[in-house]
Structure 1
Amino acid sequence: MFTKRRTWTGLVAAVGLAVLATATSVPAGAQTGDQAAAPARGIYSVQADKAQRNAIEAGGVDVLGQRGGATEFVATPQQLDELRAAGIAPTQIGDLDKQLAERNSRNGGKAAAKADEFPAGDEAYHTYDEVNAELEKAATDHPDLAAVSSIGKSVEGRDLNMIKISDNAGTDEDEPEVLFNCNQHAREHLTTEMCMRVVSRLTDGYETDAKVKEMVDGKEIWVVPMVNPDGAMYDIEGGEYKMWRKNRDGEGTDLNRNWDYKWGCCDGSDTDPGGETYRGTAGFSAPETKALSDFVLSRNVNGAQQIKAHIDFHTYSELVLWPFGHTDETVTEDMTQEEYDRFETIGKEMAGTNDYTPMQSSGLYITDGDSNGWMWGSQKILSYTFEMYPGQGGVDGFYPPASVIEEQTSRNDAAVDILIQNAA
């Protein structure tokens, strides 16, 4: 059942939507809902404008990605029936369970070496323990540049580890600070590799890269590679991917709808604990978001926030997004035109280096309780979301082969540098 603040029918009426007809060509073998029985979890696509995307997202389905006006999402038969009843006609482009089975059986069906490792062929992705080992190694290899700490515990008691990178990592200097975090959503493993790329480049490259040295000497840089370690490890449990998005508190909370700014304000999150965008019982009800926000608040010294810039890495769709997500307005009580223009200018500059599409977050669909909104609305931190590779792809969009890690993380080097340089 859809349990958002408005039903599908109400949402559709509100945007003047009668029929959502797909304008995309149907891939070979794909079938519309009227041509075949709906699978338990079908993957669907529809060409939609902004108002229509809001209606789709508000229906409680699992929105996978956006590209060229097409929205890809996962829906159950019940959800599909409600979509049709509301006059929405998506095209089925896949069966989620079949695609997962195919993805998990690659490399000749060979199983992962251990139950807590990535599927065979994807061993280059970092598990939770491997991330922590790499962070500790960076601190050991570069004791003046790097220091590891924990900002708190996950639902299941895992440390939420963070690394500080600066020329005097053991000293709290009066320098602008930058925050990078990854893996709020469990299945988005490529984002963890992005954070690990930032760590390795800014530490291993310090002695040989003049630009890296300048950034590290002039800033304090914080990196949290796994905000959702419980969900990430559950997603690969048994050596098979599960398409798990949320944390592991009961049916799970969507961490990127749990931030306490405009939390639950605007039909941009789900009240149903079973929903993929379930926002939790209150803002910061999830220990993971509470821990990260508490760390950010701890950097507010004598009323001045030391963290000046932030990127929250996600997959997929190849986008650079900036606040706000809860409204289409560019000027609000917490955003002047000058401030918005700065977001847009820097966002477009970063997108010019990685060939992502830049836009205000609400340009996709309305969201509330997201990290970018809180970072700026609460702390005036220049905050962006990067939706990484690929541009589209269903199940494969979340589980690209390990062979792309180097290319797709290094693709963001110049954008990361631009953000650091604009942390003033």
Structure 2
Amino acid sequence: MGITSFQSLAGVTTSTDHPIQSHSTFGENEQIVKIMLSESSTFGEVINHDFSILEIDASKTYVVVYVSLTDIEWMDVMGFSYEILYENYAEMNRWDTNPALLRDFTSYAALTTQLQDIEDTYPDIAKLYDLGQSVQGRTIWGLKITDNPTVEEDEPEVRICGCHHGNELMSVELPLLLAWYLVDNYGSDPYIEGLVNDRETWIIPMVNPDGREANTRYNANGIDLNRDYGYMWDVYSDCYTQPETRAIRTHALDNNFVLSLSFHTSGDIVNYIWNYK
């Protein structure tokens, strides 16, 4: 798939700093629950509660979602019928019984090394930038791939992000693989050469490095970064409360992105704007 076919666009609005209310403690894993849809638990009520949805039955007889303790209490009050499928994300993916599965994915340290290797190996078309720091001080890396990576040219700009949710491990791998594919095939594939020469592609494989290291959905303040942006936010007391989302916002304001794609691994879904529901 060519970059020009990506059709997910991220909006940017203003932000102020306010105290935050954590949705989950850092490192806490949510349970995975099947909610049976009936008269007491309509599809609309489940959607409006802003669960993170893993699966929707085609006949809408049930949905599978992540839930926190607060969500469980809410479902009990609402009288929902539900079944706990897994106690946490690690159990669902068998990481608790087979840790080698987790080791196969790229850690923050390994990602940093690979991005530096790309910059060192392909300095004419790749430049690594420090976009900001996470809560725990890890660098949020942005790799710029274009024919003049140190110059801001009048070209369309594309942004590819991964790992807003730290336990969605494959969301790191896809942007990283794309980066390697672009630089490795530049000079030998005319189509790839055109993509690199005629646009500026920013690849940010790990928006939430603290969450990745702790293998949790949230950042180190217990905040879901994908619910902390400015458009239609309503989960927390304010938007852009975290250093990670502020770094992404600042980067967006400093550039003119015509396309933006954020990888997740929660389900076989392609969301288009505006996808706050």
**Structure 1: 5+ residue stretches without partners:** 4-39, 108-118, 236-243, 270-278, 300-305, 327-365, 367-424
- Alpha-carbon distance, 1:155 to partner: 0.6
**Structure 2: 5+ residue stretches without partners:** 1-20, 22-29
Helix, strand or coil at the partner of 1:103: coil
**RMSD in angstroms over aligned alpha carbons?**
2.8
TM-score scaled by length of structure 2: 0.79
Helix, strand or coil at the partner of 1:316: coil
Correspondence 1:147 to 2:127 = yes
Cα pair 1:179 1:307 within 8 Å, conserved: yes
Change (3 A) 1:46 1:209: farther
Correspondence 1:180 to 2:130 = no
Change (3 A) 1:73 1:145: same
Correspondence 1:308 to 2:258 = yes
Correspondence 1:222 to 2:192 = no
Correspondence 1:246 to 2:237 = no
- Alpha-carbon distance, 1:121 to partner: 3.5
- Alpha-carbon distance, 1:228 to partner: 0.4
- Alpha-carbon distance, 1:47 to partner: 5.0
- Alpha-carbon distance, 1:73 to partner: 1.8
CA distance in 1, matches of 2:239, 2:204: 20
Cα pair 1:166 1:219 within 8 Å, conserved: yes
Helix, strand or coil at the partner of 2:103: coil
Corresponding position of 2:14: none
One-letter code aligned to 1:55: E
Q: Quick check: which has more Rg, 1 or 2?
A: 1
Correspondence 1:262 to 2:232 = yes
The count of corresponding residues between Structure 1 and Structure 2 is 246
One-letter code aligned to 1:64: L
Corresponding position of 1:286: 242
Helix, strand or coil at the partner of 2:42: helix
Change (3 A) 1:79 1:285: closer
One-letter code aligned to 1:253: I
CA distance in 1, matches of 2:142, 2:89: 37
Change (3 A) 1:254 1:42: closer
Cα pair 2:164 2:208 within 8 Å, conserved: yes
- Alpha-carbon distance, 1:46 to partner: 3.2
Correspondence 1:52 to 2:26 = no
Change (3 A) 1:146 1:316: same
Query: CA-to-partner distance for each residue in 1:112-159, whole Å, 9 max, x for gaps?
Result: xxxxxxx32443311001111111101111110100011111111111
CA distance in 1, matches of 2:267, 2:89: 22
Q: Per residue, is there more helix in 1 or in 2?
A: 1
RCO greater where, 1 or 2, for CA within 8 Å and sep 6 or more?
2
Helix, strand or coil at the partner of 1:211: helix
Change (3 A) 1:121 1:144: same
Correspondence 1:319 to 2:269 = yes
Cα pair 2:32 2:89 within 8 Å, conserved: no
